[in-house]
Structure 1
Amino acid sequence: MFVIKLVLSLLVLFGIAIYVINLTLVAKPSAVAGIESTHYQENKFRNAAPRTPMPFSETAALWLRFFTEKKVGTTPDITIPVQTVSQADLNALSNDTLHIVKLGHSSILLKVYGEYWLIDPVFSDRASPFNFMGPQRFHQPPISLDDLPPIDKVLISHNHYDHLDKASVKILLSITKQFFVPTGVDGDLISWGVDADKITTFDWWQEEETSQGTVAFTPTQHFSGRGMGDGNSTLWGSWVIKTPQQSLYFSGDSGYFAGFKEIGDKYGPFDLTMVETGAYDNDWADIHMTPEESVQAHIDLKGKIMMPIHNGTFDLAFHTWHDPFDRVVAESERREVVLSTPEFGQIFSITDPAITSHWWKAE
């Protein structure tokens, strides 16, 4: 009984400390009170299928689990292979197609018919508001921020720390022409020094015509927040990029939901889907997919080749670091889905055959 009381007391003290710290970490959303969306109610964004709030008892149990459950195999026991990318390598790529580089976690570098685009760029050592604690990288990015070419567009899926990195944005703002962000996220970018006229905000299903084709912001089943007092004050979602010749889909973060089929029916088929496959758990099954659900999402989207993302860079759950890869390979083989698993930094074109390297397995 004493041990239980001690643990509960420590949790309460820790919770108070985190609450005080987070008072200064909340997002700074732009004014969105006038938005006309069925998914914006009482100053909060909502999923298409409303989530059931987690009772305090379950929230406390989850916190206790994080403190007491022993993690096994959540960090790599091998050196993660990373192919170094230089600006010269990128500039040597042709301008007549779409090239893709997986930088780590969900960070993607694209060369879209000569233009350089970044999706959810996180270059910091930790996916955290702090530089001394929080999930730390397993590997360095294939290219540094200083080595990047001028960026035409940065696309952000939502404002969680493993997708919206303040330190990266503050460096990118001087070399980036445009930022495409969900409604409300512009408030943070402006507070970090990005000029408002560089930012375009998107609601679900909103499209923007660019010189390279159509960009659309599409729904996911997730949530937003950078502290304890700003939950769902900004929008979250996924990205569709359709050029005259090819199309790709970037999932951001999501639980499995009927929206994938809606997106596939409206914008599919996709030459490549980049689908979240990692950081799943029964305790948050409605906001992150299992690998099996990720494969089903790809099928719903009418994808031709699937590249699993949101894995291999940070420890964000209780499963082993390689479990997402092992399970998505097994499920893709069972469902006859074409899977591409490039190494970080490995450059490929959207028309290339799928890369089938199992680089996460020890030799």
Structure 2
Amino acid sequence: MNRRTLIKALGFPVVTVTGALGWMTAARSKNRYYDGPVSDHFDGVRFFTPGQPQDKGLLELARWRLQGGRRDWPESFPSPFRDKPPAEVAGLRSALIGHASFLIQVAGLNILVDPVFSEKASPVSFAGPTRVNPPGIAFDDLPPIHVVLITHNHYDHLDTETLGRLWQRHRPKFVAPLGNDAVIRAEHPEIPVETRDWGGSVELGNGVTAHLEPAYHWSARGINDRRMALWCAFVLTTPAGVIYHIGDTGFGDGKIFHGVRERFGRPRLAHLPIGAYEPRWFMEPQHMNPEDAVKVLRIVEADQALGHHWGTFRLTDEGIEEPPQELAVALQTAEIPEDRFRALRPGEAWEPSA
């Protein structure tokens, strides 16, 4: 039985496993996305996170799928919110579109992070995780978009169909980690993408700069491209304060979060993922749970945290409402007020208090 047949036998669509949550072979081959010098996190073919676990294999995937414990999700989980953002914000405003997609409005710039407007987090329309709620901001209600930031190339974060629509309508600046320009250009060769390594930065205008910082995660779009494109978190230095956006990460040893605090100071706002974390033995290296996210909040000392990466695409075993419930418990245990770390629903927006 070959790998593809076994994946189907286990009940996973191939595109889901190889895309949003998948496993890949680790055989060395030529990198199809990036050709650059060896570094402390690039071996000449694949990127890696120094000192952190890298890949899980087929046996571990089978163990996860066969052990049971996957909670049911409803077919529909509508959000009570629907946002129609202003055309411009002089200060700071952040709205969750859904899953890990945000519209950040700051200093007159409109910035999208990991925009996904498609119905499925998948390369095909007939398989893969399906939205259980529509985008909290309709595509036609978006203000003029100046910048699009991409954290990594998993299908629930990099949606080439949406990127093409954004380019046709808004002609924004695209910024992504190394190798992701090739992923985007394969579908849309007309889109220019500025790429940077960890520690790199791109000036966005109006006093706003995007800095690419490490995350404990990985990347893949297909069966043989695991970790061939880099992944990152973003720190935005702005006139309204520091914004720390993490698309996906495990907690690991916590060093990367201490590094952000030391380099950039205390963030005004942190976007922290709180979903797609069960079972822990499988997901812990790559996805934080709410308790981990609260640890990050305490390390970086953000004034405000907003929780995302839950309640839109079913990727893992936890129930649809477990992330905010467990976040509330973790905040109470840490003696942090609930309003300092809010689990957002699609279409819900946050602005600093006057």
Structure 1 length as normaliser, TM-score? Answer: 0.83
**Separation in structure 2 between the aligned mates of residue 70 and residue 59 of structure 1, nearest angstrom:** 14
Q: Given that residues 267 and 301 in structure 2 are in contact (C-alpha distance below 8 angstroms), is that contact kept between their aligned partners in structure 1?
A: yes
Q: Report the counterpart of residue 192 of structure 1 in structure 2.
A: 187
Q: Report the counterpart of residue 231 of structure 1 in structure 2.
A: 226
Q: Report the counterpart of residue 49 of structure 1 in structure 2.
A: 51
Q: State the secondary structure of the residue aligned to 1:101.
A: strand
Q: Given that residues 308 and 344 in structure 2 are in contact (C-alpha distance below 8 angstroms), is that contact kept between their aligned partners in structure 1?
A: no
> What per-residue deviation string (whole Å, max 9, x for no partner) do you get for residues 216-260 of structure 1?
000001100011100000000100011123111111101103211
Q: State the secondary structure of the residue aligned to 2:185.
A: helix
Q: Report the counterpart of residue 75 of structure 1 in structure 2.
A: 74
- Mind listing any 5+ residue stretches in structure 2 that lack a counterpart? 25-29
Bigger mean CA deviation after superposition, 34-43 or 315-324: 34-43
Q: Is 1:243 matched up with 2:238? A: yes
Q: Given that residues 180 and 229 in structure 2 are in contact (C-alpha distance below 8 angstroms), is that contact kept between their aligned partners in structure 1?
A: yes
Instruction: State the 1:178 CA deviation.
Output: 0.5
Q: Given that residues 7 and 14 in structure 2 are in contact (C-alpha distance below 8 angstroms), is that contact kept between their aligned partners in structure 1?
A: no
Q: Given that residues 150 and 176 in structure 1 are in contact (C-alpha distance below 8 angstroms), is that contact kept between their aligned partners in structure 2?
A: no
Q: Is 1:130 matched up with 2:124? A: yes
Pairs within 5 Å for 1:120-269: 120-174=114-168, 175-195=170-190, 198-212=192-206, 213-257=208-252, 258-269=255-266
**Separation in structure 2 between the aligned mates of residue 165 and residue 195 of structure 1, nearest angstrom:** 16
Q: Report the counterpart of residue 59 of structure 1 in structure 2.
A: 61
Q: State the secondary structure of the residue aligned to 2:291.
A: helix
Q: Given that residues 154 and 176 in structure 1 are in contact (C-alpha distance below 8 angstroms), is that contact kept between their aligned partners in structure 2?
A: no
> Which of 333, 340, 343 does residue 342 from structure 2 map onto?
340
> What per-residue deviation string (whole Å, max 9, x for no partner) do you get for residues 170-190 of structure 1?
111121320001100000211
> What per-residue deviation string (whole Å, max 9, x for no partner) do you get for residues 267-314 of structure 1?
120011100100002222111111101110121222111111101111
1:107 maps to a residue whose letter is: S
> What per-residue deviation string (whole Å, max 9, x for no partner) do you get for residues 308-345 of structure 1?
11011111111111111011112112213321244422
Q: Is 1:119 matched up with 2:119? A: no
**Separation in structure 2 between the aligned mates of residue 329 and residue 232 of structure 1, nearest angstrom:** 34
Bigger mean CA deviation after superposition, 201-210 or 143-152: 143-152
Bigger mean CA deviation after superposition, 152-161 or 335-344: 335-344
Query: Based on CA coordinates, which of the two structures has the bigger radius of gyration?
Result: 1
**Separation in structure 1 between the aligned mates of residue 134 and residue 125 of structure 2, nearest angstrom:** 15
RMSD of aligned Cα (Å): 3.0
Q: Report the counterpart of residue 11 of structure 1 in structure 2.
A: 6
- Mind listing any 5+ residue stretches in structure 1 that lack a counterpart? 354-363
> Which of 101, 107, 110 does residue 104 from structure 2 map onto?
110
Instruction: State the 1:139 CA deviation.
Output: 0.8
- Matched length: 334
Instruction: State the 1:78 CA deviation.
Output: 5.5
> What per-residue deviation string (whole Å, max 9, x for no partner) do you get for residues 199-225 of structure 1?
110110112223232210000011000
C-alpha distance 78-345 of structure 1, shift in aligned 2 (>3 A): closer
Q: Report the counterpart of residue 353 of structure 2 in structure 1.
A: 352
Instruction: State the 1:52 CA deviation.
Output: 5.1
Instruction: State the 1:34 CA deviation.
Output: 2.2
C-alpha distance 104-52 of structure 1, shift in aligned 2 (>3 A): closer
Q: Is 1:287 matched up with 2:286? A: yes
Q: Identity of aligned pairs, percent? A: 28
Q: Given that residues 210 and 235 in structure 2 are in contact (C-alpha distance below 8 angstroms), is that contact kept between their aligned partners in structure 1?
A: yes
1:293 maps to a residue whose letter is: D
